[in-house]
Structure 1
Amino acid sequence: MTSLILLAAEKESAEVTDWAARIGWVIGLALFVVLVYWLMREGWKWRGTLQSDLPDLPTAPDSPGPAKLTLSGRYHGSTTAGQWLDRIVAHGLGTRSRVELTLTDAGLDVVRPGANDFFVPRAALREARLDKGIAGKVLTEGGLLVVTWAHGDKLLDSGFRSDRAAEHNEWVDAINTMIETNSTEGAEQ
């Protein structure tokens, strides 16, 4: 019986949670997350300020002609041509969104619900290719349709991914054929 009393006397009560310290840590962590988010947002705005020399995005003509190809998918952003990590954020070009692409004789119409639409005139198109990545998005080899185009005095790469990736090759062929036709017509004149 004495040993039972001794065992009961040796048991300690559970440690009491220090709520003040725990709440302090949670608030500190929340402030850190807010600070990191604010710094990222300021960096995005600063990048937009540095790229403010880009002219306004062209809009589609009133009658661009019949559609040669259409594509429904995702717009993954634009970068400086050849530099797949140098994202362009000016004029909303850095905003990822859904996209409806339409290729006509006049050029490439990019309609983005919830973001700025733009139009790439036929004369501004430089190249179309399949690639695996653009700033913020890396896919399997050939999983991204990249269109290089001239805007102001800069060459830009814009990345698109179709809902049906098998369409990408047809788009590359059609755009590159359009560019070759445009350059041979210009050479003849």
Structure 2
Amino acid sequence: MTPQHPTYLAAVEKSAPVTDWAARIGWLVGLALFVVLVYWLMREGWKWRGTLQGDLPELPTAPEDPGPVRLAMSGRYHGSTTAGQWLDRIVAHGLGTRSRAELTLTEAGVEVVRPGATDFFIPVGALREALLGKGIAGKVLSEGGLLVITWEHGSKLIDSGFRSDRAAEHTEWVETLNSMINETEGAR
């Protein structure tokens, strides 16, 4: 087929245009910059939230001798929020970081050990309520799939959400924590 042949000319007229590489690269660079901008804005928002919550005191640490272990649980820490406000995440002092967690309940309180994140301790006197929930800090699970511990830190009531690797443990934790809270309130 020669360049003057009618079939050749028809094929050339119907062929796809040559790709404009400069425009394509420009769009890709623009998209990458947009993604970086969105990520940066999210990070700045997280830091700003931490600054707003800067009045929250340092987290307590476990005492040297917390007493005998009443319950132990391993699972996930899903975050902490202002009590009753399951979307108002608290990020100050690392409380907003989801992580694996080991919970230990002793006579002194609840010790939360989080590999790769800040550990903290909830003294028995700070405990206010324990219940089975289904959501916290934007994480929604099945009904009763979350152990929610309400505690007081400074002048703020905080809900902290935990999910055990064995969900059947949640009920025992709620009953034991609430009985400890009732004993503590009776002693006041």
Class of the TM-score when normalised by the shorter of the 2 chains:
over 0.9
- Listed as ranges, the matches of 1:34-183 within 5 Å are 34-183=36-185
Q: What TM-score, normalized to structure 2?
A: 0.95
Structure 2 residue 12 is the aligned partner of structure 1 residue 7: no
The residue identity in structure 1 corresponding to 2:89 is R
Q: Give the partner amino acid of 1:37.
A: Y
Number of equivalences:
184
| Residues 8-60 of structure 1 deviation map (CA, whole Å, 9 limit, x = unaligned) | 22111432111111101100000000000000100000000000000000000
Q: Distance in 2 between matches of 1:85 and 1:136?
A: 6
Q: Give the distance between the partners of 1:134 and 1:168, measured in 2 at CA.
A: 15
SS at match of 1:113: coil
Q: Distance in 2 between matches of 1:30 and 1:109?
A: 43
The residue type equivalent to 1:148 in the other structure is T
| Alpha-carbon contact 2:86-2:138 (below 8 Å) kept | no
Q: How far has the Cα of 1:111 moved from its partner?
A: 0.4
SS of 2:26 mapped into structure 1: helix
Matched letter for residue 163 of structure 2 = R
**Aligned letter for 2:69?**
A
- % identical equivalent positions: 75
1:61-105 Cα offsets, whole Å, 9 max, x none, are 000011100000000000000000000000000000000000000
Which letter does structure 1 place at the counterpart of 2:149? V
SS of equivalent residue, structure 1 residue 88: coil
Of 22, 25, 35, the residue aligned with 2:24 is: 22
SS in 2 for 1:57: coil
**4+ runs of 1 displaced by more than 3 Å?**
none
TM-score by length of structure 1 reads: 0.95
- Cα drift, residue 184 of structure 1: 1.2
Matched residue SS, 2:69: coil
Structure 1: where are the runs of 5+ without partners? Answer: none
For 1:125 and 1:148, the matched residues in 2 are separated by: 6
Secondary structure at the aligned position of 1:165 is classed as coil
**Whole-Å Cα distance in 2 between the matches of residues 168 and 50 of structure 1?**
32
